[in-house]
Amino acid sequence: MTKIPNILLIYTGGTIGMVKEHKTNVLKAFNFNNIKEKIPELNLLDCIIQTVSFKEPIDSSNMSPKYWVKIAEIIENHYDEIDGFVILSGTDTMSYTASALSFMFENLNKPVIFTGSQLPIGDLRTDAKENLITAIQIAATRDGDLPKIGEVCLYFEYKLYRANRTTKISAEQFEAFNSPNFPELGESGVHLNFNNRVLKKVNKNKKLVVRKNFEASIVILKLFPGISEQVVKSILEIENLQGVVLETYGGGNAPTLNWFLNLIQKAIDKNIFIVNVSQCISGSVLLGHYETSSKLKQMGIVDGKDITTESAVAKLIYLIGENIPQKEFKVLFETSLRGEMN
């Protein structure tokens, strides 16, 4: 007889766990442990559902590495007895959180599925029910003895994505996320279809390692035409700065002005890791393709390839926390560790 999967729902906050207060119309978090009263359909699912909620649920705008570690620890503490995890979070920073979790878990062989919603659960037109029910179904899906999914994913509006490939694209539409540089891992239609070709293989023999040193001091520096020397200088000279996600143009291009290149060189010389990611939604950095990126390449800037900014932030904090020696850092960052880059 096959065992009924045990699923743990972790509510961190966000619209999905909120209801509108009648008098004021203000959204407020409800007691998530009563989730089955709000969605009785959950009783029909073929799995055992347990819930745990942040004592004080947060809007995901208040998300921080401290909470990433908190979520990781909940998963770590329940890892042996739980078959699949569903993390409910606000959508605003979900891609950052889900990317961070993907780097925290090495050798993950159980599903960790993030979801949320654009409308609260009590709303007549809510997307919360479908997102939640299907996310649970995905977390409970087995392939013989093994879970179907062994990686951190994000499920939203009928699509299953590799979490560290996602970005939030809409504050209005139900289709709030996209995975511009990587195919979907699955789709929910009449059937739940998985894209087996791109799913990470589950390997039960490898032991889970949880990395929780997420305290680095980093910054995102987005270039724009006319950005001044004073602005770039004051950012790159922040005391104890350890890393920069440099959002460049197109295929990794940046100004060739002397002051700009000198400031980047000075920062690299101070052992600040600078990662070049593109401002474009899709496509990849191609260092050295144009003159406007060849100097950066010569300086040893890290090539972010087709990584998202969200994932680059998480990976940078992760690798700095691992104390990787300067020489190996670039090679490691440019290597796909959890399927986050091609």
**Catalytic-role residue among 15, 91, 97, 167:** 15
Tokens standing for 178? 């996209």
CB of 28 to ligand ASP, least distance (A): 13
Complex with ligand ASP: residue 21 or 328, whichever CB lies closer:
21
Structure tokens at 196: 């087996």
- Which of 91, 188 has the CB closer to ligand ASP? 91
Q: Are 7 and 50 in contact (CB under 8 A)?
A: yes
Nearer to ligand ASP (CB atom), residue 115 or residue 311:
115
Q: Which of 265, 246, 261 is nearest to 309 (CA)?
A: 246
How far apart are CB 239 and ligand ASP at their closest, in Å? Answer: 31
Closest contact distance (angstroms) between CB of 89 and ligand ASP is 7
Which chain residues interact with ligand ASP by CB under 6 A? 13-15, 59-61, 90-92, 116
Closest by CA to 108, choosing from 186, 206, 195, 199, is 206
Structure tokens at 79: 């890892």
Give me the residue whose beta carbon is nearest to ligand ASP. 90
Instruction: Measure the N-to-C terminal CA separation of the chain; round to a whole number of Å.
Output: 40
CB of 13 to ligand ASP, least distance (A): 6
* Least Cβ distance, residue 15 to ligand ASP (angstroms): 3
- Eight-class DSSP state of 96: H
H helices of the chain, in order, are 35-38, 65-78, 94-104, 128-140, 229-236, 258-269, 291-299, 309-321, 326-333
Active-site residue 15, yes or no? Answer: yes
Which residue's CB is nearer to ligand ASP, number 92 or number 303? 92
Cβ proximity to ligand ASP, 62 vs 203, nearer residue:
62
- CB 100 within 8 Å of CB 65: yes
Give the residue numbers annotated as catalytic, written as ranges: 15
